[in-house]
Amino acid sequence: MFRLRLFLLILATGNCNAFLAGQNDKQVLGDPVITPAEISAGVDILYLIRFQNVGADTALQVVVWDTLDPRLDPETFTVISTSHNYQLLGDGGSFIRWYFDDIQLPDSASGGSNSIGYILFSVQPRPFLAPGQTILNHACISFDQSSVICTNNAVVLIDDDADTDDLEGKTSMFQVIPNPNYGQFEVRMTHDRQPTFLPESTRWWVTDMSGKTVWDGLAHDASVVTGQVMLEKPAPGLYLLWIKTKEHLQVERFTIIH
């Protein structure tokens, strides 16, 4: 709840660009890893869709549509907040459309942060999802019924028997150094953790925000997870480093720049 209030405060003060990178995107706010136990308890997945008018003139109408992943229950769908007034159209199923009529959204060159709009909504995963499944969801945005931009896939992983670490809060056992980087970085164990704390086998991999694995590795001893990663010609953007043992899953977000 604190993170949600902070996010809405940042939007209200016009500092969206400092909080989120990019222009038209979709992401999960909070931990992108949930367990079957959390699903049974009715956990909400909080999604943010952000759209920005990168055209040459003011946009009069913006339409955002989202087709929910079949692993998500559309009956639990709830709109929490939006940047502008809207009409919501849907058939009660997984296809959802937001119509922003007469939005008067300025272009990014002249409007700065005022050229950005957002949708914040929650939805619950369907019960009895199996561990290892991945929920992928993206949105598409139309400006004045002409240009259409589709976002990245926001990734949620269903995991079991994992003590997950929040991307922004709890103490991490590993960290990406430097962050941001150019696709070459070191994975280091934090000083307050000992390698003997972890089981012998540790798997770690890197995905982009669409869920595609761009690097995969296996360490038979957690102490050697401290090592150098070199990605081959990575595109600039946000990435996720996943580090998994039998009892622990940590996700670290990092940025690759030009």
User: Which CB contacts under 8 angstroms, 24+ apart, belong to 20-25?
Assistant: 20/48, 20/50, 21/237, 21/238, 21/255, 22/50, 22/237, 22/238, 23/50, 23/52, 23/54, 23/108, 24/50, 24/51, 24/52, 24/54, 24/141, 24/149, 24/151, 25/49, 25/50, 25/151, 25/152, 25/209
Predicted confidence band of residue 18 (pLDDT cuts 50, 70, 90): very low
Mean pLDDT of 171-195: 74
pLDDT at 59: 92
Checking if the pLDDT of 163 tops 50, the result is no
Predicted confidence band of residue 210 (pLDDT cuts 50, 70, 90): low
Share of the chain above pLDDT 70, in %: 73
Tokens of 26: 């979709």
* CB neighbour burial string for 200-213, b if at least 16 within 10 angstroms, e if fewer: eebebebbbbebee
**Rounded distance between C-alpha atoms, residue 216 and residue 205, angstroms:** 4
Specify the pTM: 0.59
Number of neighbouring beta carbons within 10 Å of residue 258: 5
> What confidence tens digit (pLDDT) does each residue in 69-119 have?
888 999 999 999 999 999 998 766 788 999 999 999 998 888 888 889 999
Please name the amino acid found at residue 186.
Answer: E
User: Could you give the 3-state DSSP secondary structure of residue 224?
Assistant: helix
Residue 157 bridge partners (DSSP): 33, 134
pLDDT at 165: 42
Average pLDDT of the chain, as a whole number: 77
pLDDT at 164: 41
Phi, psi (degrees; rounded to nearest 5) at 113? -65, -20
Please name the amino acid found at residue 192.
Answer: D
Checking if the pLDDT of 130 tops 70, the result is yes
Residue 218 bridge partners (DSSP): 203
> What confidence tens digit (pLDDT) does each residue in 131-159 have?
878 898 899 999 998 878 899 889 898 88
**Using CB atoms within 10 A of its CB, is residue 125 exposed (0-12), middle (13-18) or buried (19+)?**
buried
User: Considering only 19-28, 38-47, 218-227, which range has the smallest mean pLDDT?
Assistant: 218-227
* CB neighbour burial string for 49-88, b if at least 16 within 10 angstroms, e if fewer: bbbbbebeeebebbbbbbebbebbebeebeeeebbeebee
Please name the amino acid found at residue 38.
Answer: E
Checking if the pLDDT of 190 tops 80, the result is no
> What confidence tens digit (pLDDT) does each residue in 26-81 have?
989 888 889 888 998 899 999 999 999 888 889 999 999 998 988 899 999 999 99
**More confident: 181 or 225:** 181
Mean pLDDT of 8-37: 62
Q: CB-side exposure of 30: number of CA atoms within 13 Å?
A: 18
Instruction: Write down all domains in the chain, each with its CATH number in brackets.
Output: 2-157 (2.60.40.740), 163-256 (2.60.40.3080)
pLDDT at 30: 83
